[in-house]
Structure formats: structure tokens, C-alpha cells
Amino acid sequence: MDKKTEEFYVRLKEELSTTSSWPSEYLFKFIVPTEKEKILEVENAFNNLGAVITTHQSKTGKYTSVSIHVTMATPDAVIEKYIAVSNIEGIISL
């Protein structure tokens, strides 16, 4: 993980720790290329968590947004999920 990414996660953890009580509902938003395998990889990262997942394809059909509403236990758990999905080729975390 590069220094800029590490700094982002440190700031995110601080922000999450001060703005919410935990466990808390969290909204993850990602954009991935519209390929069934990539969308499934994102969805599978949240299996067995009781997540509500919605997808929406872009006008051109090149990309799909994936929104995931899920209750997370701690800010660290949120960051762990972001790190877990960051290995998916072409993913953009919002």
C-alpha cells in the first residue's frame, strides 16, 4: 500500500470513529467495469453480512455502480472491506 493510500485510510478511520457509534449502518459505493465476474467479486466480498446490494449500469453500459448497505461492527471493519475489494481490477471506491 502506498503512502497516499495509507494516509487516506488513517483519515477515514478517524472520521468514522468520531461521526458514528458502532456497530453502524454503512454505505459502500463502488464503480466497476460492467463485467459479471467483477460485479460478483464485489458482491461476494459482502456475503453472509446481511448486506443489501443494488447495482446500476451507466448510460453507455461500460460501468456499473454497486451500492452496498450493511451493518459494520467497527471503523476497522469498514477499512478492511475497502482493502479487500481494492484488489479487483478496475474498481473505483467512492
pLDDT digit string (tens) for the chain, length 94 residues: 788 888 999 999 999 998 878 999 999 999 999 999 999 999 999 998 999 999 999 999 999 999 999 999 999 999 999 999 999 999 999 8
Task: Give dist(CA 69, CA 62) in Å, integer.
Answer: 23
Q: Which of 13, 5, 14 is CA-nearest to residue 87?
A: 5
Nearest alpha carbon to residue 11 among 19, 90, 45, 42 = 19
Which residues are CB-neighbours of 8 under 8 A, at least 6 positions away? none
CATH numbers and ranges of domains, the chain: 3-93 (3.30.70.260)
